[in-house]
Amino acid sequence: MMPFKKKFKQLEEADITEIERRIKANDPPYNAQFEYANNYICTSKYTIVSFLPKNLFEQLQRIANAYFLGLLILQLIPAISSLTPLTTFIPLVAVASFSAFKDALDDYRRHRSDDIVNNRKAMVLRDGKMVEEVWQKVVVGDIIKMENNHFVAADLLLLSTSEPNSLCYIETAELDGETNLKVRQALPETAEMGDDIGQFTQFDGEIICEAPNNRLPKFEGKLNWKGETYALDNDKILLRGCVLRNTHWCYGLVVFSGHESKLMMNCGKTVFKRTNIDRLMNALIIGIFIFLLSMCLICTIACGIWESIFAGDKFQIYLPWESYIPGTILGTKEGSVTEGATVLSMLTFFSYIIVLNTVVPISLYVSVEIIRMGNSLLINWDSKMYYEPKDDPAKARTTALNEELGQIEYIFSDKTGTLTQNIMEFRKASINGKSYGDYLDASGTAIEITEFEGSDSADSVFHYDTDSTPKCDFSENKYSEDSFSYYDRRVPDGIRRQDSHMCDFFKLLALCHTVMPEEKEGKLEYQAQSPDEGALVSAARNFGFVFKSRTPNTITIDNCGKEEVYDLLAILDFDNVRKRMSVIVRRNGKVQLWCKGADSVIYERLDKSCRELQELTTHHLNEFAQEGLRTLCLAVKDIPDSFYAQWAVKYKEASIAMENREEKMNECYEEIETNLMLMGATAIEDKLQDGVPDAIANLAMAGIKIWVLTGDKQETAINIGYSCRLLTDDMEEVFIIDEEDYDKVKQQMEDALKAIDDIKKGKKTETEDHVDSVRFENGGMPTGTATYNSADDVVSLEGTSDFALVINGHSLAHCLKPELEMTLLELGCSCKAVICCRVTPLQKALVVDLVKRNKKSITLAIGDGANDVSMIKTAHIGVGISGQEGMQAVLSSDYSFSQFRYLERLLLVHGRWSYLRMCKFLKFFFYKNFAFTLCHFWYAFFCGFSAQTLFDPYFISFYNVMYSSLPVLALGLFDQDVNDYYSTRYPKLYHPGLVNLLFNKRVFALSVIEGILSSIVLFFIPYGALYEEVTPWGKDQSDIQSFGVVVASILVVAVNLRCALDTSYWTGFNHFVIWGSIIYYFCFILAMYASVFNYTYQGVAFAVFSSANFWLTLILTNVILLVPVVAYRFYITSIKASLTDRIRMKQRLTKSKSRSRDLHIRRTSTFRRSARSMRSGYAFAHQQGFAELITSGTNMRDRASSVQLKSPVTLTNVKKFDGHSANSSKPKNGTAAQASHPNSLETYETGGKILYTEKL
């Protein structure tokens, strides 16, 4: 198979013959000759034609299915088959049909989703007029008209728009998960066509561009039109999956369509995924088949010896050999007895393959599929994973991977839209050396803020007035937003007093930005290029400083009811190097520069008189950063008119320079942005999704390692890392790999590894056996030692130190090269947290594949955008977040839900249960079938190895279908060791799945050994009891039919009682199927062996069941089989109780009391202090380029200068946290309080090491 990297590289480089693409507008015949892909998409695996062969091929990848097919072929040969071929043919067809139906149902859902997309409507230019056409009929070269809020149908070259200067605004959430708007601009030459259909009909431009590829941020091409050539880049391209926003209409020419669009090129192909247990089963089936061949070989040799040496041939008087056997007394085939015995023994070999084939019954795979489907339905029906605001339940989009959810070791997560909501809220501020944002009591002490949110419980009682912290009243402000929440009354009170520092602070927020206001239905709304800016401008609006309108030369604000117009002299734009932006404005003849940016760059440019204020602000910044808030510093400068006049001349010359324009403009910026006066700092919260920190903490305690792969900038990703507790201030070191040169990147990584090694060597080794010393951190391993015992198998958990790794995309490109990838893997696995920033979709997939290939661990990828699709498909399990960011990730995923926090329940509850159930099912299934099948083997020594069966043929057919199937199915569908509450309360219960503790080759071997021993007991105890037995009437009762019924009856009772012992969670259905199966067997066999059916076993059942010897034998055999198991388990639970045993005992003692929910959410105050934390909270998610658009008037149109009504802008939201988790997440002394995590096992994990003992 082609290596993963090579496949992706070919995809990126478009490994088709097309090197460049040529397109002529309005010329279908010319474009048709290149056979470009149409706009039809298909994310499904099958078509009507390919379904049967492709699905059969996939099913035959299961060795067991191939084994049964071979068995069926053998049964078609009358000479060797003692059973009808229907006994294998019907189950095989049933299994294949059931699996095919399930696969077809899964694929049908994909087809249905594809049909919805393919049949969306678009306006297409055809024959000189615009006609409505479905998306799948759009072809390369078509001209499409789109309107506001419409999805882009294909990758288009933007031709013209309704906006000034042919700008249009797009939302790329479905591509990259970002909801902030991006700007695209058409060529001025094509923009002149406007909305004129006639001109578009005459448009005959030719596009020469790159071949289809998956590079989302890059496009290269040129347009030849009217004898001129125009360069084309990504700023002139609208990609499929984008949504047109704030633009009445636009026209575009289709460049890439369907599967050749960049969105679909990033999706990759749907792959066939198999679980770890499936792969193990394939190996076990080979082992079982070898074992089967060994038994058949023994019977073959023994048959030859019996027939040739021990006078077996003398029995031909009663049962002649077949006519084709040499030496038969029928005289039809000449030959010696030895020759006949040889031929007969060879035929016996194949006969015993058929007789003993039930060691791997075909019903095993039917049962596995039923269990998987049932567990998938339980996921779909889980009300605790249902997101009511969007009416979105969790969905298991595949039914084949459930138990894999219980073995996840690595989670690869996107950030934006997956961990966060991409919604910013203004939380706190430092103004003139004072910190604001906490709710203060009468004595001025900061107390916790309680936000009322309601509860999930239907019977909850809410108290709105008494328990919720009162919010500040903004009703006097007609522009205020109902969704804005603020609790510190000192700020609005200070503004009412006209406090100059506060007023200037919020005036800066209303002036220094690139936000565009817009009036919609009489309401003022803001369109921000980044949610950070939107949150700051919205905060200023609610505090009375309302940004109302702008022109290329003016900014109009409402200052507490008074309109103020500022002349906009210049915007010194933001970029990733400057990390700041400034505006220069004039009002009443006074020129001022207002600046905001990262603390590091602002501090360098402050006036010396700000030293004391800088120290106070720095202290506040550390507090804000400790809370995970994103911070900016604000500063102002008064500029003399004479200085500004001189500077303006230099600035104009720099802005029109033809050489080194950027450097000259930066020199101008540096010249004027000096001697600033510090005003304070803002702190906004990048809202995490509800429950993310607690979910991550629980998953980490379970031993799961979490890597965050995001396209966001480094500062933003690090800030979120602290917010969601991936990063903490008590870490030994956070290594940042950010060089662009290969050698420097290599050196950084080697230095990091050396530093880790030095720190580990320098630490004193402390061994604490008490469970309280075991602290599970993110990264999955405890800082201490713990063991999980399974019989004699001890698996040690070795702790990792607290390190973190942050790596940039350009550095990651070097790290993923073959020479460095193992170094990256070693470094990443040495760290507790790994965050990769500025990564491309391809890099995300390569990182996942790197771990998947080399760690041999089960991986899970979770994301919400099209840029996450490649890693979702690469991982063993892909999870899609179905949110506001589009459905591409969901369509490519195996599981989907609306909130990241549901991942905790998916893995720790459903995943663990599914793994536990499947392991129990497989162990029991192999046990009961070896116990059943080996009885035939022991009987072979008493029937001359003639391949005669011990049991009634109907019993052989019904054993795995009617007598023992339902109890084990109930075990696989409903069993649980502990309930869902304790599964999440004690996440270390997840550990056995990480190390394959519950079902592996050793466990399988023990099950087989137990089955073999049980078969010996089942055969020889009744054999001894019935040996030479006679009835009270003197009749012989030791015939083969009676003996077979006795063994069969004891077998049915024994395996069902054994299933009862394995059942941990009893339901009414379990009782019904276990006891019902036993009763049903006796009733059915009595009826079937009655005289009415005239069957060969007529009367045998009644005769056997009326014998006291039978019932005593049944009791004795079951006691011998079950008492040792009960005694062993009693010893284990009493002397070496496992973690599960202890928690089950606690569950029984507490009668499974449900966890109560706090109805209020506590947002911790800034009373949390950390003298240690010196990290910057700067993480401004802004992009360069908007300043030029504003000052040039390029993006201006008539906008409302005033609005009379309140207008809510949906930039803020009420934060919802579980009160329990909020309390648990409150750090002490500036560190994350992980030792006192609510999921710790301090009370119940006592008495030494943690033990996990699996029962036999």
Distance CA 374, CA 395 (A): 13
- The two tokens of residue 896 are 């989907």
26: left (phi over 0), alpha (psi -120 to 50) or beta: left
Distance CA 550, CA 1211 (A): 20
Bridge partner residues of 184 (DSSP): 168
C-alpha R_g of the chain: 37
Which helix (H) or strand (E) is 792 found in, with range?
none
Pairing of strands 562-572, 181-185: unpaired
Which residues make Cβ contacts (< 8 Å) with residue 970, sequence separation at least 6?
Answer: 1063, 1067, 1069, 1070, 1073, 1074
Orientation of helix 912-940 relative to helix 965-974, angle to 10°: 160
- The two tokens of residue 698 are 């629980």
Q: Which of 106, 107, 176, 414 is catalytic?
A: 414
Distance CA 104, CA 1209 (A): 45
Pairing of strands 877-881, 895-897: parallel
Helix (H/G/I), strand (E/B), else coil: 878:
strand
Answer for the pair 306, 944: CB distance below 8 angstroms, yes or no. Answer: yes
Which residues make Cβ contacts (< 8 Å) with residue 763, sequence separation at least 6?
Answer: 801
Beta strand extents in 1013-1073 (DSSP E only): none
DSSP result, 802-859: -EEEEEEHHHHHHHTSTTTHHHHHHHHHTSSEEEEES--HHHHHHHHHHHHHHS--EE
Distance CA 701, CA 695 (A): 10
Whether 414 is catalytic is yes
DSSP secondary structure letter of residue 1155: P
Distance CA 449, CA 1226 (A): 13
Where do we find the tokens 């049980």?
1014
Distance CA 525, CA 474 (A): 18
DSSP result, 463-512: -HHHHSPPPPP-TT-TT--TT-----THHHHHHHTT-HHHHHHHHHHHHS
Distance CA 994, CA 703 (A): 8
Count other Cβ atoms within 10 Å, centred on residue 154: 29
Distance CA 738, CA 746 (A): 11
Tell me the HSE value of 731 on the side-chain side, using a 13 A CA sphere: 25
Instruction: Label residues 948-980 b or e (16+ Cβ within 10 Å = b).
Output: ebbbbeebbbbbbebbbbbbbbbbbbbbbbbbb
Answer for the pair 163, 152: CB distance below 8 angstroms, yes or no. Answer: no
Instruction: Label residues 756-788 b or e (16+ Cβ within 10 Å = b).
Output: beeeeeeeeeeeeeebeebebbbbbbbbbbbeb
Distance CA 1208, CA 1212 (A): 10
Distance CA 874, CA 860 (A): 9
Distance CA 533, CA 837 (A): 21
Which are the catalytic amino acids? Answer: 414
